[in-house]
Structure 1
Amino acid sequence: MSDPIATDPIATASTATGSISTGPAAPEPDSTAKPPVRIFLVVVDESPELQLALRYACLRARKSGGKVALLYVIEPGEVQQWLALENLMREEQRAEAEQKLQKLARDVNRLTGTLPALYVREGNRRDEVLALIDEEPSISILVLAAGIEPEGPGPLISYFTNRGLAKMRIPLTIVPGGIGIDALDAIT
């Protein structure tokens, strides 16, 4: 009669070495595997601070082997009385958004050597930022720049540093709005 443990391919015992194997050895970690690419998301708006957030994201992406993603959100306007006029305005806003994104994409390419991912969405800006982050698992950092106006740092920063941060799965980087280009370059 044979020993059932010795014939079981999953559980074999070696009395000579005192070791017990419970199955095939785990594969060795692949030392050539690359870590996932970090994607820095920048929200495009009309603020002067956009250039600071964009530059920071580009420099960090370049130094870490990451990429940049740009999000332009077309926020809903007032309810229009005529659907045709509303559709025309929406088309104009979308064309404007695409034109701005193409210009910024050239800046990203100049600073990083790569083309950014471009997103155009319609809706509430903060809701669309959260939705995109949830839908795109490759996005790993949200980069915003703080305004220097007396009204405060800006609506997105105000939201995300209060209630909104708990809804995010990624870190938030805030670039000070008063930082100069040389200082920004030095810290990235």
Structure 2
Amino acid sequence: MQASLDPRVFLVVVDETEEHGVAVRYAARRAQHTGGRIAFLYVIEPSDLQHWIAIEELAREERREAAEQLMERLCDEVAPIAGSVPIVYIREGRPRDELLALIAEEPSISILVLAAGIGPEGPGPLIAYLTGKPAARLRIPITIVPGGLSVEEIDALS
């Protein structure tokens, strides 16, 4: 199949922030309207317990299980909207490193969708990083959705 006939894939980085749901909804609606697909990336960050190997291993297993449960729930919510089951990526490492590696490895990913943080900390570390020098190296566009949008506002925009 030619790349031009492949569906557009909207990649959403899923984390524990309140605003990630805004990015998920926006990407689902865009996929619905364009015949695209959604991909979720969840990155399990290394803990500070690495000197306690047994405890670190248990903590890693618990984080992975929590990530898998979150992905399963999101897939169940999004599939009826987007029209297909999302692609799921769960990786371990630093979020920005894993995100850039995934984009480089997966040519089907065509758009990155992130939601801007709604707190006083600013838009979030990934957005701050990706809108700096690394932006010029990306091969795909980034859509930044305001994190405070309501479902109705997201649906109207998408």
Percentage of matched positions with identical amino acids: 56
**Aligned: 1:84 with 2:54:** yes
Partner of 1:163: 133
Whole-Å separation in 1 of the counterparts to 2:27 and 2:110: 11
| Structure 1 residue 36, shift from structure 2 partner | 2.1
- Say which structure, 1 or 2, has more relative contact order (CA 8 Å, 6+ apart): 2
More helix by share: 2
| Structure 1 residue 111, shift from structure 2 partner | 1.2
CA contact (8 A) 1:42 1:68 kept: yes
| Structure 1 residue 182, shift from structure 2 partner | 1.2
Partner of 2:83: 113
| Structure 1 residue 135, shift from structure 2 partner | 0.4
Aligned residues, how many? 156
CA contact (8 A) 2:49 2:55 kept: no
| Structure 1 residue 133, shift from structure 2 partner | 0.4
C-alpha RMSD of matched pairs (Å)? 1.4
CA contact (8 A) 1:74 1:93 kept: yes
Residue segments in structure 2 that go unaligned for 5+ positions in a row = none
CA contact (8 A) 1:130 1:167 kept: no
Residue segments in structure 1 that go unaligned for 5+ positions in a row = 1-32
Whole-Å separation in 1 of the counterparts to 2:61 and 2:71: 15
| SS across alignment from 2:104 | helix
Whole-Å separation in 1 of the counterparts to 2:52 and 2:118: 39
Equivalent residue for 2:70, pick from 88, 91, 100: 100
| SS across alignment from 1:137 | coil
Matches within 5 A, 1:8-157: 35-157=5-127
